[in-house]
Amino acid sequence: MGWMHGRLMEAEMREQPARLAEGAPRYHAVLEKALGGESFDMVLLVARGSSDNAALYARYLIEVHLGIPVSLAAPSVWTRYGATVRFPKCLCIGVSQSGMAPDVAEVLRRVREAGHETLAITNTPASLLTEVARHTLCLGVEEERSIAATKTYTASLLSLYQLVRVLGGKLPSPLLPDDAWVERTREAAERSLGYLLRSQTLFALARGYGFATAQETALKLMECALLACKSYSIADFQHGPRALAGFGSAAIVYGPYADGLMELGSAVVVAPDAQAGPCDPIWEILFGQWLALHAARARALDPDEAQHLQKVTQTL
């Protein structure tokens, strides 16, 4: 009956092309009204879990296309140590699908009290984040019922892409995946599944924009299929972790990868190339989502009710 597992996850994955197409113009309009014409000396991103991976994508987009520095916040600086951080003119962006992350909200609150601009990106209106941030972008992809974040993740990526455009980044209108891409990535993941299930050591590798996708793929394999997978920048992979590559290992790769992995005996699973430029992560994570779902079903696990996890996670 493993084929019945993850029915919610699959349905929500298949919604993504329509949800993204609906959201793209609205995200741009809402963000233009809130922040159009504004400029900042830095951006502070605060998030956890899948939202943190979306924030990593935003870091690359902002630094490449706006040329301003980005910091990925460590909430414990505020919540555990009670520190005060002196920022230059700052935009603080909190990303949380539930909007109920207390540590993310605390950073937003403290940064806003210091006189900086704040933006909440969430799928839940009238939530904790919306109360503390000056501006809110609601993703509006309807309730996500599976434990695994899928449509909220890609919607977060798209919202952050649109934000960079609003702030002056020279980016084209977003190129978005369609139903044909969903099917193509499903088939590719199904063909690759055996490599993952036969391997004792799993890596997810990428660079630049794609690094967020490697991170999110590793997270999905762990939470959905209970497969231990570590993500690395391909550059960092050469500085030590490559020693683990060999027979019994598999590397899931987004984009170009370091030569020699197959010669070392590692299986190399190359994700389909979206050829969507800076929008690649919005497309390519579909492959990672399908890998996680197929692997969960093969292992008789239900990602809709992931082990030891709940939909809303609250940390301080």
- Both 105 and 233 in a single domain? no
- Both 88 and 235 in a single domain? no
- Both 77 and 190 in a single domain? no
Distance CA(131)–CA(126), nearest Å, equals 7
- Both 150 and 270 in a single domain? no
Residue 195: predicted pLDDT: 92
Distance CA(188)–CA(265), nearest Å, equals 21
- Give the CA radius of gyration of the chain: 19
CB hemisphere CA count around 139 (13 angstroms): 30
Q: Which of 35-44, 94-103, 186-195 has the lowest mean pLDDT?
A: 94-103
Whether residue 172 is contained in a domain is answered as: no
Taking residues 135-164, report their average pLDDT: 96
- Both 136 and 158 in a single domain? yes
Whether residue 213 is contained in a domain is answered as: yes
Whether residue 99 is contained in a domain is answered as: yes
pLDDT band at 42 (very low <50, low <70, confident <90, very high): very high
Cα angle: 244, vertex 249, 251; to 5 degrees: 95
pLDDT band at 293 (very low <50, low <70, confident <90, very high): very high
Among 166, 198, 220, the domain boundary falls at 166
CATH number for the domain spanning 15: value is: 3.40.50.10490
Distance CA(156)–CA(1), nearest Å, equals 33
Q: At 32, is the secondary structure helix, strand, or coil?
A: helix
Residue 77: predicted pLDDT: 92
**For 65-111, how does the pLDDT look when each residue is reduced to its tens digit (9 = 90+)?**
999 999 999 889 988 898 889 999 999 999 999 888 899 999 999 99
Whether residue 313 is contained in a domain is answered as: no
Among 133, 166, 199, the domain boundary falls at 166
Distance CA(50)–CA(64), nearest Å, equals 22
Residue 313: predicted pLDDT: 53
Whether residue 225 is contained in a domain is answered as: yes
Taking residues 164-187, report their average pLDDT: 98
Whether residue 10 is contained in a domain is answered as: yes
- Both 35 and 162 in a single domain? yes
**For 294-312, how does the pLDDT look when each residue is reduced to its tens digit (9 = 90+)?**
999 999 999 988 664 444 5
Distance CA(310)–CA(54), nearest Å, equals 20
- Both 145 and 24 in a single domain? yes
- Both 90 and 21 in a single domain? yes
Taking residues 46-65, report their average pLDDT: 96
Residue 228: predicted pLDDT: 93
Of 312, 316, 314, residue with least CA distance to 97? 312
- Both 150 and 12 in a single domain? yes
Per the structure, the complete domain to which residue 149 belongs is given by 2-166
Whether residue 31 is contained in a domain is answered as: yes
Among 166, 189, 218, the domain boundary falls at 166
Residue 175: predicted pLDDT: 98
- Both 154 and 188 in a single domain? no
Residue 54: predicted pLDDT: 98
- Both 24 and 135 in a single domain? yes
Residue 315: predicted pLDDT: 54
Report the domain count for the chain. Answer: 2
Whether residue 316 is contained in a domain is answered as: no
DSSP-assigned beta bridge partners for residue 44: 71, 92
Instruction: Judge contact between 250 and 202, C-beta under 8 A.
Output: yes
Instruction: Judge contact between 299 and 35, C-beta under 8 A.
Output: no
Give the single-character DSSP code of 242. G
Residue with tokens 């020279």, as numbered in its chain: 170
Q: Is the C-alpha dihedral spanning 140, 145, 149, 151 positive or negative?
A: negative
Taking residues 183-208, report their average pLDDT: 95
- Both 105 and 201 in a single domain? no
Greatest extent of the chain over all pairs of C-alpha atoms, in Å: 56
**For 196-242, how does the pLDDT look when each residue is reduced to its tens digit (9 = 90+)?**
999 989 999 999 999 999 999 999 999 999 999 999 887 777 666 66
